[in-house]
Amino acid sequence: MELFIVDAFTSQIFKGNQAGVVLLGDEESFPMVGTMQNIAAELKHSETAFVKYESDNVFKLKYYTPNDEIELCGHATISAFTVLRNEKIISNGNYVAKTLAGELNVIVETECIWLETAQSNLIKTFSDEASVELYNAFKLDISDRPKSLIPCIISTGVSDILLPVNEKEKLEKALPDRNRIVEISRKNHVAGIHMFYCSSELEVTAYCRNFAPLYGIDEESATGTSTGSLTYYLTKLGFVNIGSENIFIQGEALGRPAIIKSKMKNEKIIYIGGNAIVSIKGKIAL
């Protein structure tokens, strides 16, 4: 099995969000679940993708955090198709990623790889009373919520709490309480909390931070599925338009800034996109 470490949602090495990518050969089957989990735990990246060619333009992907298997990971998928392109297994064109979240379209371009997210669904909105707990988990207050935005749970293959703040400084200075976020995530059956500030800058849609300690990820520098959920939410509220290309900045607090693109093709289909660069290539000694 070949192993790659990839920096996703960036064109600069050692920036963006790292993912492990394990590329299986034609004669290799997916390893046992315990082995895949051990590899992901050994790598210690937020997610590791295991990739196997199936037929025609179809690839099957499995995703593991250091703690558990998950249905879908945006940045690991972008990373996986970057590896496939770099290794000349694929060229520019349209492909299908078979995941636990469904069969998703992938568009490979020279400067960007686009991933269709699973269909978005609004699961829940939080009252002001219920929102207090969410903000307090970051040493913030309900007064830090923008008047026009309400915390909610949206699923785009993975469910997250979207938590808006009214100033970029509040986003930057938020202090996550790991244990409280784990408790909130478990209680609401979500992967984590995606905090965001809607930017007044023309070139940036929103600045974001993502916290998923329930899955062993205290903070992540780029989260594609959450970006898809946020795109859906902001489109429904009229903050962004169907068909427009949006830019989200994440990872600044970790010193690994990432640029995540998104576009809502129609009322149901969302694509997330970005660049990625391979930093390490090797083999797994099994």
Between residues 52 and 26, which one has the greater pLDDT?
52
Distance CA(9)–CA(17), nearest Å, equals 7
What residue segments make up the domains of the chain, in order of their start? Answer: 2-117+274-283, 121-268
Confidence of residue 242 (pLDDT cuts 50, 70, 90): very high
Q: Does domain 121-268 have CATH number 3.40.30.10?
A: no
Q: Catalytic residue among 2, 27, 42, 47, which? A: 47
Categorise residue 189: left if φ over 0, alpha if ψ from -120 to 50, beta otherwise. Answer: left
47 labelled catalytic: yes
Q: Is CATH 3.10.310.10 correct for 2-117+274-283?
A: yes
Please give the residue that has the higher pLDDT: either 285 or 89: 89
Helices (H), the chain: 33-43, 74-86, 128-136, 168-173, 178-188, 224-236
Taking the C-alpha atoms of residue 204 and residue 9, their distance in angstroms, rounded to an integer, is 15
Nearest to 181 by CA among 170, 194, 164, 169: 194
pLDDT value, residue 283: 94
Backbone angles phi, psi at 236, to 5 degrees: -60, -30
Gap between the Cα atoms of 18 and 82, Å rounded: 13
Would you place residue 263 in the very low, low, confident or very high pLDDT band (cuts 50, 70, 90)?
very high
Whether the predicted pLDDT of 119 surpasses 90: no
Closest CA to 127 of 144, 152, 147, 146: 152
Question: pTM to 2 decimals?
Answer: 0.89
Residues forming beta bridges with residue 70, ordered by sequence position: 63
DSSP-assigned letter for residue 240: S
User: Is residue 267 predicted with pLDDT exceeding 90?
Assistant: no
